Structure 1
């Protein structure tokens, strides 16, 4: 190697050490900030790149702005692009009122609108509409180079040789004597203008030069920044210039290489960021620092613009897409930050607060704000592969390697604040066997977890407590209980309990979730937590094993390390870091909950690798620690990861929820005011989002349609919802988004669904009227049909009566006449047989004739011919008594309205039966018929003065006609009452209700 290359290499190594020392110092003393942590190197930020492959419409991003609604806006050569963290929406000439796709500048307004500079016009986007300003309304030139809005809301634009101010709808133009390219307002509200060889201030409408062309050496000022300390940063096409408040000039560029500065940014922490032709950089002291690391070497960044959003993320636009740099829960350390390797195996903090890190092939490293110190085989270690680090009560460091156990002692300590100056001595305690873990128990004995089993050391004498067997007893991890019992976890045989001379092996048969044990941890409550491979997390509590697996909600069933912070367990797994509250585990074990809900950390949280169980097949020991200051240190396959929870979580802002689209019947709905919709299909779709640019993938959504839903519906990460068959009425769609930190935002949109024509009141009234009319028509039709059928029946009965009268009745009458003639010619010889037979025949003929006439009368009843009961009763009664010699007394009152035919028929039959009974059995001389109306009841009475009878013996005496009369009365909903006694006549009263 040449002397020059050697010097450069040593200089680079020295600078990396300085960077690492500064970064480590700030990890220990980290300030609070709502921005990118300035203590981190650029390579320690989480970087995400979006290009056309990730949905970006065009890769060249020339300007970035963020409006009040949270959306990020990007200026590209193919239109204006909006980004919500999930997807890109492009506005161009093809799909909007934008007249030019070449966007050159952006400025977000305090009123929520966005100013857009193009190569041919100035455009304002407000309320989802574009308004274009050309040269005609007062814009001096079309090409917009730069845009800013000042503290009072006035817009300043640089277009060619003009500076324009837009206020209250009017342009005011200023013309300097130089070509302008940039404009900036400082915190004193002074306006700075930069151009070809000139930097000037606008004072009372005049341009006052601050740095002349000679000082700028003819360079064009591309960008200007006045920081909070009143330093003026000037980016030119050749260098970066800093002008202090006293006028002192400092230049960046000659020492750090010639650079064209395209954009400058001061973040909320006061850090100065520079976008230049050499890449993205940050001013640290008097140095221009650019990012390093494999990520930047693989994807170099040459930004055209830089921007800090409301959440403190840094965005950089370039010809290669959009870049986001964000702070994370974890700070990563690797080779690029000064570590000797990206493969740490163990991390430990001693009683003095020193942090020690062991590596796979690079030995043991002492962390210190002053730098680093590395111990290897050349310093006396048995091997450069470090497996574990522990400490005795005397403060001696116990170092387990793949070739044995060593002890590191401090023989001279200058100061706890300068550990690099301390003097150490190394000596080897055992050789040949890998020491996966080591501890000193409360009695002062050393226990070593080795490949051959468990070894107890007294001085340099070793005793095998658990001996080698087949399969081998590879002990990986150790823990001591509060009762002095030693617990040893093996990689395939289970968990050993060693209490003096008593040993017992616990396996899956005893309740362990797996026999492959890689981590043990006793907490203050006396619970032994057991990290296994293949079985998740086990716990030994009150003599009983408990198990918690990925099926129960844990991130993984492979756990290589456990850290207890008091309230939670941090599990190092092969899928990332899993943080689970111990209260959740207790509730799960007591069946108070059915699923675990841990917080999981991965690449998006700052881990360079989610494999946080490095080299678990060959390496054991401590994979992480909780330091005395509360910080958590983890080893991963790609370096160290340090977690500082409080600061990170306090910096998180709530998301901003937006209802982006409402689609009704396949048509978009204007969301600027309450919508009144008349739907055909009833299909409605909502598309919503929440702007949380730091971690949009971590948001969880819930929605509710007020007017339909009674509870919030959890949607997870889904950002669309559809409804169908909604009834008319007032609705309010509500959606909320929640971050993992519990921060929420909610938005709503109200709309009215107008009733369809068949849901209107007039349609319902009309339908009711039509239904009633239809029912009435059906009723009338039915009545007509019944009447028609009744008339047919009546005609048939009349025909039958006529046929019987003209045939049968006449024949019987003829027979009767012949018998009477025969009787008149035969002398009356009482008691002779011939006379007896003749008299029987005469009586039978008269009876047949009477019955025939009665049948004819039934068939041609007046009740069937007219519905007037009074008339029918009068005519019928006189017919019944004709020729009987019985006196008829009638008192008939007409009912107030016409009676149903069946009622008239039944009442006539009751009266007929009663009259016939009086004629046949009573020997009455007088029959009285009364018909009257009383209290909505119709009363019919038939009485005679005959011989009477005993009512209770009526059926026994063959009076079955009474039963028929009662049945007819009951059929009419009435009742029949009979009163009679021997020698006192008979009275029948029928009472039926009037309808």
Structure 2
């Protein structure tokens, strides 16, 4: 931190190692498509006039001259997907506050740097605000640890309720021209005077509500505070008043002309004196709700909404800016692969990605009701190429020629309007629907058949059906609220419950069903996953039985790859067990838009599409990136954990910049049962690592490894191995990169600088 701050004080930030914190999109095997519609924060570029917008899926840069935008996310070097704060520095750099990992800096040279939470430094990775003061210090407000300032001398100073803040949960921060720091917290408004003393204001003083969401200060010194209960004004004379009483005000801009703009869930409000004017979608907003506001230097106003941003010019004209890719809400609930691309079910309709990168959106209005509901639960592609869509209000079929047909509950439709799952039989052409009133079958001849608990003699253990899968023999497997139901090809039914299987099925609440290439049905439940073998025995997989290899017992989806591996989707990430029984996990740190994984869609190419609550991810099979064979790409400033059986190995790949001086890796090894090695390449014929370039040493219960840089950008590979005969156990590998940086104020090279990432040293 000291070297960084000294360089800041000299007006220059050294080339940051975090430019390699994740590989670029041309090499990274995991690509993310996240929600860039919800605009959480905005700032104008200090040099080029561009507008930077923080979103749920990275940051957008909007060029007002060319009216084009570019997006940046974790694969580009951003520390975390969700960007809640943006601040533009005078040198052209943009500082981005994320809600999970800390602060990222994108320099004018395109290089990235990340400041993570660390003892004595940034107190939290959940950033809500960023601002520079007149002395060159960087202020950061956090959602759980008060505020902190990075001084030009490199020291961090943290201020919390101990120093006088009304609360440590800070939702917004504003620095005024007089050097005061204003913070909107969940416990009231706080202001730090130029003398360094804090004063707190609550409803007892005149604030409309203690839970404050936004704050701004006009040139006259009047503070405007948005709260859950209205907009409050604290005059320069100390007098209080309230406008918009009872309304949630979550964004505010106070103009020097006396006009105040307030963002609410019900629209934009303009206050000029006693006059009040409201704006909504009919006036030019992309969506009714206003999430963020930014005053334009030319007298205009930028408005951030959940559906993009818009600019209101001084003459009253509106300009809407909405990213076109990907479309719709990126809470992705389902995914299905076809030869012509990938179909996605989202909370706002259906989206399609074509191999040429083009996106298409299908909504209820856009299909003239052919899509019966915007809330999509499941998608599946049938053998005839038709797309079937299960929604919260019926089911739809999109024919290969683009025509839509919708069915709702009834004799000529599904048994219930809530369709939770869809599966198409590859042999009969039938389509099976999991509904909340049993299972329905659409036959190839167009007729409908319903099956429920009563008609199956209890073979369907519950009418609340969540999942459906079809096997190669014509059988159908159903996950329900009461266990698993099976319909054989001859029409006979059988139920499997936790009690009947003696716990082989870990829970009767079954969320997912899938049939493996070997014919075994797998089920995801609230208490783990299980597979039923051909001899009737059950294989159960839980977090405990895998030593944490399965990150959560709530298994929401299951899929299989061509190499004999199995994927499990959980609220804590996507876990993979390979054919040898080794585990690895993909989560937000690895590039997923969200750790909550709802569905998988394996492609014939070997690609895996991952549907998450925050967007879509694609694990490329033809773009292994900086990997040897099946190595797992990781960020260099990161700690990763996994599980190793005796004799098992796990290989990690780290892509590093030319500016690094060394890579350090260490893994706790109190029993001396692990081996740690590093490689600079792989055998061209086998894809296996070459001879080790470095071997870890055991020092006081920790195995440590250091690899020196060579002044070139390169990929390094780190292998962890459990020795034969050692007990299976979990391990935690820590990685960090360092480099020699130049400090203009201290006469040259400063020596090794470790860049500490999340998990380092824990």
TM (norm. structure 1) is: 0.35
More helix by proportion, 1 or 2? 1
Structure in which a larger fraction of residues adopt strand: 2
TM-score (norm 2): 0.44
